[in-house]
Chain A
Amino acid sequence: MSFFGGAWTVAAKDLRSEWRTKESLNAAVSFALVILLLFSFAFDPDSEQTREFSGGLLWLVFAFAGTMILNRSFAREIPNDCLDALVASPVSGAALFAGKAVASFLLLMAVELIALPVFGLFYNVRWGRQWALLLLVVVLATWAMTVIGTMFSALTVNLRLRELMLPVLVYPMMIPALMAAMQLTTVLIAGEAIAGDNLIWLRLLVGFDIIFTALGLGLVETVLVG
């Protein structure tokens, strides 16, 4: 089976399983909406100060909600020792990793696309003409969170405290990507263009995605088989 065929088969299986149970999707959407609602009570959404950190707030919510999705990525394979059946199959570790990452990415994007309009409503954000660029930033940063999270989900799948260990390991690794996403989102929400000094953050996101995707694809076989 080709790399892409194997990856898509694994991704489709994960999406179908999640659609049937909605275990992580319901939890992540509810969490994101509740946190956005609580923060809108805690801070004055109309103040200039709140606008300045709204990008950071948004990405913290996405990062926390994201771990709920990413925790399930490989943990889904634990019942009935399904991970052994997958690893023993002819699908390469890289295809398995890619499939898992694509499924988590699509689930995380679904959570974010539900949360974004709610965020806009609570914080009086006018997306204006920046929505296409914002979508690009969301896609790049979500992929960054997904590849890191999927890799560490594979690494922690056999740990008893994996729900605790995943965020502890993943958040420090995500810092560069999250910083870039926060900066760019704040700029875009303020209606400014991504240019000059801000371009470096966009380049960082792209570089982060390429490097960690390559690392994930290359290292997952060692992580799974030893």
Chain B
Amino acid sequence: MPSTVAVDGVWKYFGDFPALRDIRMEAQPGSCVALLGRNGAGKTTLLRILAGLSQASRGQVRVLGEDVRHEPARRRIGMLGHGIGVYDELSAVENLTLFGKLYGLAQPRRAALEWLTRTGLEPVRDSLVREFSRGMRQRLAVARVFLHAPEVLLLDEPFTSLDDRAIALLQQLLREAAGGGCTVILSTHQLREALELATHVSLLHRGSLSYSGERTAQMLADPGWLYRSYGDPG
């Protein structure tokens, strides 16, 4: 089966410092890769390169067989970074309609309303985002990412600052997406939530990939085992 995400010998330098060192990994359709690692391991840097937000200093990244900066590839990627990526001075429905238009949806407003209903934000659809609670903003960000039915989902710390209801919603959406053939790559420090979802695990340690393989039952039973075996035990 062809890989949806193929990372081949990627290096990333910030000045002289190599933030990523010769990363090689692949992800198949329907797989969910938990990208783990301590702070500064390079998870966000790798996800930004995969999303086309940053360029690799060396090496090549192909998403769905294309250069990630090509428009057709970006149309099929959903990225949720550290920020929620929605505008405070626009309403919830205006935000989603805007991104629906940018992603070329035929009926952006209709898709926006559907996702507002799915994320429980329909009652506040015309309220400005600046009036939203943190949890509501996160749910809107989740709706933004799923709005265009992406085939590759890149999520950087998606569970951070979510309440239990929003975590459950996100886990359900990710399961549905992966079940539908979507490739999910998510970085997180919340091992248990990530490992419950993951089919594969990649561990970054000081910019290098120290483990990459299927998620095993041992990892679920003892989430700290991976760090003790392949990473920095401290």
Contact = CB atoms under 8 A, between A and B. Distances in A.
Nearest to B57: A226
Interface in A44-101: 79-82, 84-92
Interface residues on A, range: 20 to 34
Q: Which of B51, B69, B81, B89 has the most CB of A within 10 A?
A: B89
A20 interface: yes
A88 B90 contact: no
Contact of A89 (B72, B74, B128): B74
Contact of A79 (B52, B88, B94): B88
Contacts of A88: 51-53, 74, 77, 79
A80 B88 contact: yes
Interface residues of B, number: 33
Contact of A82 (B52, B72, B77, B83): B83
A91 B52 CA distance: 12
A87 B84 contact: no
B55 interface: yes
Q: Is the interface of A mostly helix, strand, loop or mixed?
A: helix
Contacts of B98: 9, 13
Contacts of B79: 84-85, 88
A21 B52 contact: no
Contact of B81 (A20, A79, A81): A81
Interface string A175-219: 000000000000000000000000000000000000000000000
Interface in B55-73: 55, 69, 71-72
Contacts of A221: 69
Interface in B183-206: none
B53 A225 contact: yes
B90 A81 contact: no
Nearest to B69: A225
A116 B87 CA distance: 33
B158 to A, nearest CB: 14
Sort A-B residue pairs by CB-CB distance and give the 6 closest, nearest first: A81-B83, A85-B85, A90-B75, A89-B102, A88-B79, A80-B83
18 contacts: A1-B101, A5-B101, A6-B102, A9-B102, A21-B89, A80-B83, A80-B85, A80-B137, A84-B51, A84-B53, A84-B85, A88-B51, A88-B53, A88-B79, A89-B102, A90-B102, A225-B52, A225-B54
